[in-house]
Structure 1
Amino acid sequence: MNAVVTTAGRTNEANIEVAISVAKELSLQYVSRKKKSVQLLHAEHKSDVIVVSNERLELYVLGSNTPFFFHPNSAAFRMKRLLKGEKDLFLQATGLQEGDCFLDTTAGLCSDSIVASFATGETGIVHACEANTLVAYIVSTGLKRYKTPISELQNSMHRVHLMNVDAVKYLKSCESDTYDVVYMDPMFEEEIEESSNFQTLRAVGLHDVLTEEWVEQAKRVARKRVVLKAHFRSEMFGRYGFEQLTRLTSKFHYGILNI
């Protein structure tokens, strides 16, 4: 990891202590902000910059002025719809029920994992894999500390267990039939209109390509179903034998492999 940890421009002793603690936890260097811009810190240290503020942790990738930070993102409005009794296409594709065990092999911001946690409830298990250490740390911290008045969303976030691990390596370490559903959402092969935070995630995320080994290990570990999310024009559905659930108005589709 090539990164330094600092504070927001206007800071306090509490945030300085947090920044020093984050730096130690990640084995990174803490640098005093001294009113320097993130761009100047990039230039001086030739590294990514993690900024500790009152509200959140932000990651500024070297060469970018746009921060990556945790936010429940689409999970928040999806949760509101679910609480109104509306359907969620991800839950329809996964078929998750209360008490199920779910593995998200491409965690990112954990939006789908949060929704999965809501569906599986207090008796369920939701695990998520994120190979990028800095992304995993920021998202894991956000899942624990983000505050929302929606108690169902808050509880769902707290139940997600995010692991800083390569998905295929983790799958290979699992016993067969460990999870009811294994899910994969590789970075889209084609650009689609996204939020700025997702675009930043695309910049910092590890762009793993779906492989035969990944799919075969997912099939071995899943008890019920493997689910793929990809661009509607993706060849991955046919290549790996997924039943593509077509949606005429969407640029992404889900594919399912029943075990």
Structure 2
Amino acid sequence: MNDSLVITTGIRSRKNLEEKALELSREWKIPYQPREKYSLDFIREMTGASTILLVSHQKLSLVTNGKEFFFHPGLAKLRIKELQAGKTDQMIKAMDLQEGDSLLDCTLGLAADALVASYVVGTKGIIVGLEDAAPVAHIIARGLRSYTGEKPELINAMRRIQVVNQHHLHYLRNLPSNTFDVVYFDPMFRVPKVKSSSMAPLRDLANSSPLSIEAVAEAVRVARKRVVMKENRESQEFQRLNFQLIQGGRYSPVAYGVIKGGVLK
């Protein structure tokens, strides 16, 4: 992926929106291009940028290959409602996540899983999300800090998530042993799910390299309780990466590999 970025505004921008874009340009050290009446395609061609950070009245978004990426609680909101109704969330079950636990989400992405986990661990818990792709980390971090219009418990869960723009292997190597209760991986599926349209822009932006055996070994060292990986149910990644226990809903297309108690066989 070409990491070149440019910041611009919506086509009907006002002075305050342009000032916001300039502020972000300075903060993130990304070039600013006045929108004027140019199309996004023209701006991309003119600047040579592969991705545009678009500042509009409603949100911040990234536009790449004609697809738009922005933060939204999405399915996390529904999953939290189901937890409140006493239903089982398969990810939370696989993690054995409890109130007050600490979780390192090594592949933050859209932050949906981290948001559900943040709700579960509550105010005494810790959620750290790692995102290797700087544009994605920028959008998600700002969205988690500024998103409004939801119930307090959902907003509070958003605000508790700490976003770190760093590759998980480098981050894990520098952590002491037994730092987090749970370490979680949700790498890009080797075979994408056709129905997952929200992931389409993310696949263009995020690191799509397969999870390494070294990263799993480091995760086992760092996790006090367990390491969990989400993958397609029939994926060979579970076997390749030594996940012995596979959990998940009987009819779900995804499953969770679990390594318990810091033991990698």
Partners of 1:131 and 1:70 in 2: how far apart? 16
Q: Give the aligned residue type for 1:22.
A: L
Aligned length: 257
CA deviations over 1:127-178 (Å, ceiling 9, x no partner):
0100111100000000011113221111100000010001000000100000
Question: Following TM superposition, by how much is the alpha carbon of 1:108 offset from its aligned partner in structure 2, in angstroms?
Answer: 0.2
1:174-253 matches, within 5 Å, as: 174-242=175-243, 243-253=245-255
Hey, what does 2:12 align to over in structure 1? 10
Contact 2:90 2:249 in 1 (8 A): no
Give the match for residue 61 of structure 2: 58
- State whether residues 181 and 223 of structure 2, in contact with CA within 8 Å, keep that contact through their aligned partners in structure 1: yes
Runs (4 or more) in structure 1 with deviation over 6 Å come to none
Percent pairwise identity: 36
Provide the C-alpha distance between the structure 2 equivalents of 1:38 and 1:72, rounded to a whole number of angstroms.
26
* Paired AA for residue 57 in structure 1: L
* TM-superposed deviation, 1:208: 2.4
The residue identity in structure 1 corresponding to 2:40 is V
Does the 8 A contact of 2:54 with 2:62 survive in 1? yes
**SS of equivalent residue, structure 1 residue 67:** strand
Offset at 1:194? 3.6
- Tell me if the contact between 2:7 and 2:21 (Cα under 8 Å) persists in the aligned partners: yes
Equivalent residue for 1:27? 29
CA distance in 2, matches of 1:41, 1:150: 38
Normalising by the residue count of structure 2, what TM-score does the alignment of the two structures yield?
Answer: 0.94
* 8 Å Cα contact 1:67/1:197 also seen in 2: no
Matched-pair contact (CA < 8 Å) for 1:69–1:197: no
CA distance in 2, matches of 1:7, 1:94: 41
Query: Which residue type is aligned with residue 203 of structure 2?
Result: R
Equivalent AA in structure 2 for residue 169 of structure 1: H
For 2:52, the aligned partner's letter is V
* Aligned pairs for 1:115-130 within 5 A: 115-130=116-131
Tell me the TM-score normalised to structure 1 length: 0.96
Deviations 1:36-69 (A, max 9, x none): 11111111112121110111111112xx111111
Cα distance in structure 1, aligned partners of 2:161 and 2:96: 18
Report the residue type matching 2:197 in the other structure. S
